[in-house]
Structure 1
């Protein structure tokens, strides 16, 4: 079965409104002969004369009268579909966004993000999830935004934007031996350490940075997140080495110090799927996340 020519709907709408082939042609910038051909096609498609001569003009058939409002509504709706989206009204926006973030992100930036988004768009709900593994597949459907460190180029269809650069610091409880005196590389390496790894390796960025000094950390515990590492450092004589900005709130009340060797740095990025790139509401949320993360670059 052949598909109908939907352009004929526009022609029919104008013909029924004007009741004249000549005037309809003028509105559509078509010649009288081209309009006559279009009317003939409409008659074949509908199986009805649609417009018949009466005196010096044309009058609609009952079928044409029946179709008039339906055709007008269809043309109007099609025009809305093919028109750019209306401006975003944050005051009336009702939507739930799912944001999946790396460990510590919600504790550090979540309050400001919730406050900022709620102030501008009170009908928006944020679903904040902790990322337990690196997998971008869900950005195609279930996840609106994700934060994380990019170890390799993003796959096709995924957009990314840098949020901030973070560097690692060491954290211990106030009465830990490293809480006083100069924390040399030797003292740091000889202490008992908690290592953060979601993938299972016994060593990571910190150990790679430490290796040129000839020292190795004494790793006695491995956890899967920075929050857990900080919690252990708070309760035990362990050293947790964690990203400074990510864990600022988590480290409250503990003693933090700069690493006595060249500290690794990581760039945290915001990621989303290409299908959401042009969505005005999604673009607004991306800007809010970026604004919150960059509000205290020196923090």
Structure 2
């Protein structure tokens, strides 16, 4: 096992428990990860991972060697990394963003990143897997609303928002569902308990197209206290707690904040 790349594959598999997610994290193909895993098994004379309901579960041997290998790789990385962070040296930037923000400021975010690096930009809609992918370092940073999240994630609150009704108030009410926000909460009930939604969708474009005959609850930053309904929604930048002081995350955060602050609502 003389190839450092093989060790990175091993660490990625320990973090993700999946050849697919390990490949995403490393920016390689799944077939490459599987090939390296097969070689590692032969070199170390141990299966290293066995399939289970949770994915690839490490063997006791894999668990025993992981801390030493991880520390060794960190020391190697520190020894060879440049003294000054240069975004032009990045290979990939990955972000997960809640849909309304992705639609309204996604282009500005891409343009802001592209001005500073030619790295691959992987920008996707926030999903139920986003928190895990940030913790596994497959995703660098997320934009979501401040709420209960594990302590392994750091939330940097930016600004508070309020809600307002949009559309035809005499028409049907649409519950616009946003992943990780209101799948099970009915915030409109805090404003008007008599509301009974008859259309449910997670698609922002469809919701907007129906506003001539239907209505929904929208959200906007409350910088001038002009919106009536306070339903405690604060946008935040989400990062892995142990990475938030890293050069890459600090650079991304400083880049994103002024762009996010241009958001005017959805």
Question: What's the TM-score, normalizing by structure 1?
Answer: 0.53
1:96·1:125 contact (CA, 8 Å) conserved in 2?
A: yes
**What is the CA RMSD across the aligned residues, in angstroms?**
3.2
Equivalent residue, structure 2, for 1:194: 174
Aligned residues: 184
1:100 to 85, 96, 105: 96
Counterpart position of 1:175: none
* Larger Rg over CA atoms: 1
Q: Output aligned runs, 1:128-277, within 5 Å.
A: 128-133=123-128, 136-141=131-136, 142-152=138-148, 154-172=149-167, 178=168, 188=169, 191-197=171-177, 200-201=183-184, 204-211=186-193, 216-233=194-211, 237-244=213-220, 262-277=229-244
Distance in structure 2 (CA, Å) of the matches to 1:128 and 1:237: 33
Q: CA deviation at 1:196?
A: 1.9
Q: Distance in 1 between matches of 2:77 and 2:134?
A: 29
Q: 2:104, 2:263 within 8 Å by CA — same for their partners in 1?
A: no
Instruction: Give me the whole-angstrom Cα distance separating, in 2, the residues matched to 1:148 and 1:80.
Output: 31
Quote the residue 1:116 is aligned against.
112
Question: CA offsets, 1:148-168, max 9 Å, x none?
Answer: 12332x322211101322222
Unaligned stretches of 5+ residues in structure 2: 1-74
Asked if structure 2 preserves the Cα contact closer than 8 Å seen for 1:192 and 1:237, the reply is: yes
Partner of 2:260: 293
Q: CA deviation at 1:278?
A: 3.1
Q: Which runs of 5+ in 1 are unaligned?
A: 1-77, 173-177, 179-187, 246-257
Q: Secondary structure at the match of 2:128?
A: coil
For the residues of structure 2 that align with 1:158 and 1:283, how far apart are their CA atoms? 15
For the Cα contact (< 8 Å) 1:192–1:217, is it kept in 2? no
Length-normalised TM-score, structure 2? 0.59
Deviations 1:129-178 (A, max 9, x none): 112337522212221111212332x3222111013222222222xxxxx5
